[in-house]
Amino acid sequence: MCQTDGVVFLSQSNPSTRRPPRSPAKNQSRARMGGSPAPPPAWMATGARKWLEEAGVAFDGSDRRAFNALPLAGARVSLAEGGRAVCSLRVPAQLTDAEGNWHPGAIAAAADDVCAAAIMSVEGIIKVSVHYDISYFSPAKLHEEVELDGRVVEQKGKMTAVTVEIRKKDSGELVAIGRQWIHQAKEGSSKQQAVTLNQEEVEMDGRVAHRKGKMTAAVVEVRRKASGELVAIGRQWMTSTRARPEKNGGSRSKL
């Protein structure tokens, strides 16, 4: 399935508080003075590796990071430093669809965690997503080994842009590419707590917005049930991977 997701998270941060990027003049001034950005402290890389390794360890349901243990189960971390995080894993049975493919939702969740580790390796903190876009290129099958490579690509004030490539370990074939803009969470809040409170009820309203040939566009709004406050908006373009038989013996798209 080829699918592109765009998710905008609205309730956990205020983009208007972003500081403007450093001006070229200031950068040139620092260069003339012989100043260059100092390398991040070693504890940031150590913390990022530990966080990513622990994310792939099975937790019981009482741990707030239990969700991370699903998409990163059995992950092996090969690098977590200097704004980059790399790990590999084998696609587990519980995260495959009816056709034996790695589930797109599991791919997106794993990519999100690798992006978080890449940022932690240079900033020492976990940030919250404000925009997440992911494109799928080829399926990964059950027990197939894949590698996730996340990199920080830009920083603007409290905003950080990060990308992740997911490839099949043996062939290097591209499975998916994810892109995120991530914002610093409010002081005292964690990545998991930033969007909704524990056990807070939310409502998700999805609808088909447009059809074009074999492509279908869908949108979903996620709101707090009690107040109606908007939490996130997701947008997708989706297409079928195979035809299915019609009742009269013909075939039609999965959509």
* Spatial CA neighbour of 184 closest among 6, 47, 11, 15: 15
Tens digits of per-residue pLDDT, 72-88?
888 999 999 999 999 99
Residue 115 has pLDDT above 70, yes or no: yes
Say what the pTM is: 0.75
List all residues 6 or more positions away from 140 whose beta carbon is below 8 Å from its beta carbon.
91, 101, 102, 107, 146, 166, 168, 175
Distance of alpha carbon 246 from alpha carbon 206, whole angstroms: 26
Identify the pLDDT of residue 241. Answer: 66
Distance of alpha carbon 143 from alpha carbon 250, whole angstroms: 34
Low-confidence winner among 15-24, 89-98, 166-175, 245-254 (lowest mean pLDDT):
15-24
Tens digits of per-residue pLDDT, 183-192?
986 654 444 4
Residue corresponding to tokens 């490579």: 149
Tens digits of per-residue pLDDT, 160-216?
999 999 999 999 999 999 999 999 866 544 444 444 566 899 999 999 999 999 999
In Å, the largest CA–CA distance within the chain is 77
Kindly indicate the confidence band of residue 55, based on its pLDDT and cuts at 50, 70 and 90. confident
Distance of alpha carbon 182 from alpha carbon 130, whole angstroms: 6
Cβ distance 218 to 209 under 8 Å? Answer: yes
Residue 28 has pLDDT above 70, yes or no: no
* Spatial CA neighbour of 150 closest among 78, 92, 102: 78
What domains are defined for the chain?
Answer: 38-187 (3.10.129.10), 196-255 (no CATH)
Quick one: 37 exposed, middle or buried, by C-beta within 10 A (0-12, 13-18, 19+)? exposed
